[in-house]
A and B are shown apart, each in its own frame.
Chain A
Amino acid sequence: MRFRWPGSRDAAITCRRAVELVTAYLDGALSTDDEMRFVTHLTYCPNCVEHLQHVRGTIRATGRLQMNDLDPQVRTDLMDLYRRWRADGTA
């Protein structure tokens, strides 16, 4: 069954289109109409739901790259810089 949202001629979008919209969807940057089309598509397309999960997994995996590897020496140097700036205002 294909239904139409009021005010739009044809609310249905293809999987190709849904995949194109994923990044904007996750950013909350879709127009109200596009977001409705996107979400509606997901309700009847398990493949695109799976794809969305892939993108979320990808973001998580990429987020693992963050390492707070601050060298103690660097920290000391920067604190010295700050103290000099505070002392004479010139850094």
Chain B
Amino acid sequence: MLARLRAGDEEAFTVLVDRHHAAMVRLAMTYVRSRAVAEEVAQDAWLGLLRGLDSFEGRSSLRTWLYRIVVNRAISTGLHERRHLPVEVSEFEDNNGRFAQDGHWVTPPAHWTDEVIERITAPEVAARIRQLIDHLPLSQRQVVTLRDVEGLSSEEVSEILRITEGNQRVLLHRARTRIRSLLEQEVLA
């Protein structure tokens, strides 16, 4: 892929754009306020990719490198603001009250049947998950977007965000716990 890009292969570039651009915009959205600015950041990152193509040594994957450029550009646009809106703590369990003193479940998790799984993967629910993710603290939002929306590995995410894999996992765990609570409410409703 790298050699084809350097050689000016249009098809290779098209493939790369189709595969990554939308995800890059979503990643940029975790840093900046508007979609328009996120779009600019992503386009700017492509420019960065082309400029760096000759000096890229391939120590990380092309995707990791590209997403890392997005993060750098997003931060340097100076629009790096905290979009984090406080979430009512009571809205979510924090594992307090779920377990008894001896570490066993107080209220065991209800059985999620196939019908339940079908319900929670419906478009209306996706919109609610999106809303919840938008309100998560910045670092949780970034990790869960890259891991569970884009499907990147823990190794890639820790490299892109420059955090340890362990730290990355803690943030992912918290984000998933919150999303699961939302879905549980959805199921009970």
Contact = CB atoms under 8 A, between A and B. Distances in A.
A86 B4 CA distance: 12
- The winner among A58, A75, A81, A91 for most chain B CB atoms within 10 A is A58
A20 to B, nearest CB: 8
A81 B46 CA distance: 9
Contacts of A66: 23, 149-151
A82 B13 contact: yes
Contacts of A17: 103
A16 B103 contact: yes
B63 to A, nearest CB: 15
Nearest to A71: B39
A53 B184 CA distance: 12
Contacts of A27: 154, 169
B112 A74 contact: no
Given A53-B112, A61-B183, A64-B126, A14 B51 contact: no
B109 A60 contact: no
B2 interface: no
Given A50-B108, A62-B179, A70 B43 contact: no
A1 interface: no
A15 interface: yes
Nearest to A59: B148
Contacts of B50: 81-82, 85, 91
Interface in A19-61: 19-20, 22-24, 27, 29, 47, 50-51, 53-55, 57-61
A51 B14 CA distance: 41
B59 interface: no
Interface of A: 14-17, 19-20, 22-24, 27, 29, 47, 50-51, 53-55, 57-70, 74-75, 77-79, 81-83, 85-86, 91
